[in-house]
Amino acid sequence: MPERLGPARETPLFECVALIGIGLIGSSIARAARHLNLAHQIVAIDASDAVVARVRELGIADEATTDVAAGVRDADLVILCVPVGVCGRVAEAMKPGLKPGCIVSDVGSVKASVVAQVQPHLPAGVHFVPAHPVAGTEHSGPDAGFSTLFHNRWCILTPPEDAADEAVERVRAFWAAMGSNVEVMSAQHHDLVLAITSHVPHLIAYNIVGTAADLETVTQSEVIKFSAGGFRDFTRIAASDPTMWRDIFLHNKDAVLEMLGRLNEDIALLARAIRWGEGDKLHDLFTRTRAIRRGIISLGQETPEPDFGRRRESQ
Ligand code: NAP
């Protein structure tokens, strides 16, 4: 998997980019944007004094502040990188500072809810192009970010139907410059697709690790000691940020419940196949699922290596 960013641009794509929420995603954008010269100025905004102080120490932005309205004042691109549950509150706080003509975007893992929360706070003349980089790790905070996080990953844009083409193209160019493959779809479709590819798998991981932790006949130390590959992989996912994932499930409720219903039906069929010794049914399913994994690897979205190719290089 390519891990290197291309050369820096001679002229930046934006004069000033303001990032709100400097955790894994916000700090990764800051690092990539700086490395690639995508913005003349990068302003980092976070609710936490400790995060702002750390951003200054790391030197990943030109300015760092807790004042949202002041921080976005000069920005021609503002990206909300906060948990999806606070997007409405943050949009309300930034409203007085937004420059006419600026583009507001986000990175939330859920799209319809973010659109509903943010859009009402945007003044006329401000463009809104929601985005979701389908890239991440189980780590949080400004130290967790790295500039190659978005390289060769998908970024899904969900612009409203009346979005200005030029604004959509500028956001597309920003993500493409960071190495992402950009695709456009509706917010509703995004939420359905991500429910099955990301949200339900996380719920299953949280559930299986929680169930193992609650077992009485198998001790917790045995679960840890004998954790084989399968369980270990679930624990990585189940270590993901609790605030972020609580918000995702609460804000993509309908799509997640729809997919969970389908999953419950399929699990009942698997249980039946095991009970009645229908090995051919199990073998057929496991053969189809193996082909899906191989398809993901051949598309370059995963490596066959046992560590899942998640070794990172910091730049
Ligand atoms: P993170 O590492 O926890 O960072 C979020 C940052 O936002 C934290 O510094 C947090 O500060 C700050 N924050 C929270 N509320 C705020 C507010 N009201 N105003 C300003 N700052 C605030 O989270 P992340 O992983 O970067 O995720 C950020 C967004 O990216 C989420 O919407 C998530 O759905 C999306 N996303 C995440 C991934 C992933 O794998 N992690 C992938 C794609 C998209 P405190 O720590 O002090 O609360």
Ligand 1 proximity of 140 Cβ (cutoff 6 Å): yes
- The per-residue pLDDT for range 78-120, each reduced to its tens digit, is 999 999 999 999 999 999 999 999 999 999 999 999 999 999 9
Ligand 1 proximity of 39 Cβ (cutoff 6 Å): no
Query: Tokens representing 290?
Result: 């193996």
DSSP for 112-149 reads: HHHHHHHGGGPPTT-EE--EEEE---S--STTT--TTT
The angle subtended at Cα 308 by Cα 226 and Cα 301, nearest 5°, is 150
| Nearest ligand 1 atom to alpha carbon 109 | 34
Contact 45, 67 (CB under 8 A): yes
DSSP for 8-54 reads: PPSS-SEEEEEEE--SHHHHHHHHHHHHHT-EEEEEEE-S-HHHHHH
Residue extents of the structural domains in the chain: 14-185, 190-309
Q: Give the dihedral sign, CA 300/245/312/156.
A: positive
C-alpha of residue 244 to centroid of ligand 1, in Å: 7
The amino acid sitting at 108 is G
Report the topology of domain 14-185. Answer: Rossmann fold (3.40.50)
Q: Which homologous superfamily does the CATH classification assign to the domain defined by 190-309?
A: 6-phosphogluconate dehydrogenase C-terminal like domain (1.10.3660.10)
- The per-residue pLDDT for range 236-266, each reduced to its tens digit, is 999 999 999 999 999 999 999 999 999 999 9
Predicted TM-score (pTM) of the model is 0.92
C-alpha of residue 23 to centroid of ligand 1, in Å: 5
Say what angle helices 200-214 and 242-251 make with each other, to 10 degrees.
120
Ligand 1 proximity of 47 Cβ (cutoff 6 Å): yes
| Strand, coil or helix: 65 | strand
